[in-house]
Amino acid sequence: MGRRLLDYFPCIDWLRSYNRNLLASDASAAIIVTILVIPQSLAFALLAGLPPEAGLYASILPAMAYAIFGTGNTLAVGPVALISLMSAAAVGDVAEAGTAGYAVASVALALVSGLMLLIMGLLRLGFLSNFISHPVISGFITASGLLIAASQLRHIFGIELAGDNLIELAQSFWLSTGAVHGPTLLVGMLALVFLYLVRHYLALGLSRLGIEARISGMLVRSGPIIAVVVATSLAAIMNLDDLGLSVVGDVPSGLPALGMPDGPLALFQALLVPAFLISIVTFVESVSLAHKLAARRKERISPDQELLGLGAANIASALSGGFAVAGGFSRSIVNFDAGARTPAAGALTAVCIGVVTFFFTSLFYYLPHAILGATVIIAVLTLVDVTVIRQTWMYSKHDGAALISTLAVTLLIGVTAGILTGIALSLILYLWRTSRPHSALVGRIYGSEHFRNIHRYKTETDPHLMILRVDESLYFANARYLEDRIYTLILEQPQLTDFVLMCPAVNYIDASALESLEAINGRLSDAGIRLHLSEVKGPVMDRLDKSTFLKALTGEVFLSTYRAWCKLHKAEEDSPGTEEVEVQS
């Protein structure tokens, strides 16, 4: 399946039919998104350890690049909390916070991650993200939300806080308790309470007033901008910064300078692993969000093309002094609810934010950090989902263990260790499970052609004949286990003359398992027992035909277990193919 060059530019499709109506929808959405997401963009830049303008820069070119290469009509790309946290953790390992090297490393990380996404898109490696299980993602997101909220307490309490995990943050908090700044705490708490009430009760109130859900949703999401405007105005009028309230201060106006990030090769190498994890999380989160938004409007997205769009966005972010970006949940929901119709809405948002960055950054001077911190805390607490822990544990202990381990390691050690632990553990648990497959001795359901577990059903059996159904593909990790199971079983039934391995759930037999089958065949033969197979699937049979196993097999391969029963059952009658066999007493 070759792709034409034009296929890499999905914007061509929607631009062809673009018209005034679409423009009107997209433009109004863009204005709303711009107003609502600016506080977030500033706050996530701080979360990533960068100056606030980096958040604006990361909202301009990346959104334009995604509009060209992305396939999600309403996905809004820019700074997001989770990725900002991962960026801060990765960059904090290679550079001192607040230094020029830190900014360089943040940009380098976005570049490496963008290139990885691009390469994954070109090589169609999107399936790699399938190897992260949902419980691991759940645990990781919940833990990240808690970590982010904890880290933002620095702004609420007006103290210094540092650390990559809850333990370090708690120690740091403990050491700084003496420095808590009263006025800051007051502003921060007021903002938290206000934002909490808006988010949790405003929608309820508005719906009682009969306001449409879409509109009330938008009003709820305007909480942060209202808090920002009110607090910034008050701080400016009352000169609260003189009281020691920390404010954003000078934000350079003008558009970002374009340029290649430049750092030593060792820096890029040191960022490879975190960049890869950020790429995977960016992809998983953005695509699942894009899927959900697209499904609501019966649209489709192309995962491999999304990799290109996200890759281009991150590279654009790196070239314009931004940091790692992804498709953001709240900015996308605002975009969707505000009526965006095509990716042009994202591009127009970028233009609007560009205008703000060019002309209006002085307005942010008196914006208190405490307000930004409160905005982030309220935003990320929606990531925390505790009910899923119990549900997952109830459904499957393995999945629950993967979730809880990811959660615990992320909280107690850090994001990189957390997600790596989750991925490794879920793979190991999967291999562990398939290495000890379920198998059942089966007997005939009286008078039927069906064979079921002798411990679950009342069945007809035969002391000369043993039928074992194995419920897993046979491969190296479980081959020896099967051998041991069979050797143990045959000791229990001394009259045994025929052993049937029933294979309806065996989708594959690898070379190691084939050797085990040969060993089983030899061992049973030594014990005077013939080995038969039944219900072998077509593809498995094709493969066995290429080996010498079928020649060495002491018994037969039966199409159905019933035929094996008819042939091998030492009953009064033994003509194969008859529909009924007398029930043994």
Residues near a copy of itself (CB under 8 A) are 127, 130-135, 295, 298, 391-392, 394-396, 398-399, 426-427, 430-431, 433-438, 453, 456, 471-473, 475-481, 504-505, 507-508, 510-512, 514-515, 523, 526, 537-539, 543, 546-547
Whichever of 362 and 507 has its CB closer to a copy of itself, that residue is: 507
74 vs 349 by CB, closer to a copy of itself: 74
Tokens 């879409």 correspond to 214
Q: Is the dihedral of CA 364, 369, 370, 374 positive or negative?
A: positive
Work out the angle between the directed axes of helices 20-47 and 81-92 (0-180°, nearest 10). Answer: 40
Write down the least CB distance from residue 559 to a copy of itself, Å: 10
Cβ atoms of 85 and 379 closer than 8 Å: no
Nearer to a copy of itself, 323 or 481 (CB): 481
Minimum distance from CB of 546 to a copy of itself (Å)? 6
Shortest reach from residue 530's CB to a copy of itself, in Å: 18
Cα 571 to chain centroid distance, Å, stands at 57
In this structure, is the dihedral angle defined by the CA atoms of residues 573, 574, 578 and 583, taken in order, positive or negative? positive
Sole residue written with tokens 């159904």: 469
CB of 404 to a copy of itself, least distance (A): 12
For residue 332, the one-letter residue type is: S
Round to whole Å and give the CA distance between 321 and 258. 7
- C-alpha distances in angstroms, 228 versus 37, 143, 380? 11, 27, 18
What is the smallest separation between the CB atom of 565 and a copy of itself, expressed in angstroms?
17
Are 56 and 357 contacting, i.e. CB atoms less than 8 angstroms apart? yes
Query: What is the spatial distance between Cα 493 and Cα 241, in angstroms, rounded to a whole number?
Result: 87
Query: What does the alpha-carbon distance between residue 380 and residue 144 come to, in Å, rounded to a whole number?
Result: 8
Least distance from a copy of itself to the Cβ atom of residue 535, Å? 10
* H or E element that contains 165: none
Closest CA to 39 of 370, 383, 382: 370
Rounded-to-integer distance, Cα 374 and Cα 236, Å: 19
Residue number with CB closer to a copy of itself (149 or 441): 441
Beta carbon of residue 449, minimum distance to a copy of itself (angstroms, whole number): 9
Calculate the alpha carbon distances from 224 to 278, 378, 451, 477 in Å: 27, 9, 64, 54
Residue 530 DSSP class: E
Residue 316 CA to residue 36 CA, distance in Å, equals 23
Q: How far is the CB of 522 from a copy of itself (least distance, A)?
A: 8
Closest distance to a copy of itself from the beta carbon of 90 (Å): 24
Q: Which is nearer to a copy of itself, 118 or 402 (CB)?
A: 402
CA distance 358 to 247: 20
DSSP state, residue 127: G
Q: Which is nearer to a copy of itself, 241 or 449 (CB)?
A: 449
Identity of the amino acid at 363: L
- Write down the least CB distance from residue 431 to a copy of itself, Å: 7
Q: For a copy of itself, give the closer residue by CB, 192 or 425.
A: 425
* Residue placing its CB nearer to a copy of itself in the complex, 74 or 439: 439
The SS3 of residue 441 is strand
Minimum CB distance to a copy of itself smaller for 35 or for 445: 445
| CB 308, min distance to a copy of itself, A | 18
Residue 566: other Cβ atoms inside 10 A: 20
CA distance 93 to 47: 15
The separation between CA 224 and the C-alpha centre of its own chain, rounded to angstroms, equals 27
Measured from the CB atom, the residue of 3 and 297 that comes closer to a copy of itself is: 297
Choice between 128 and 408, CB closer to a copy of itself:
128
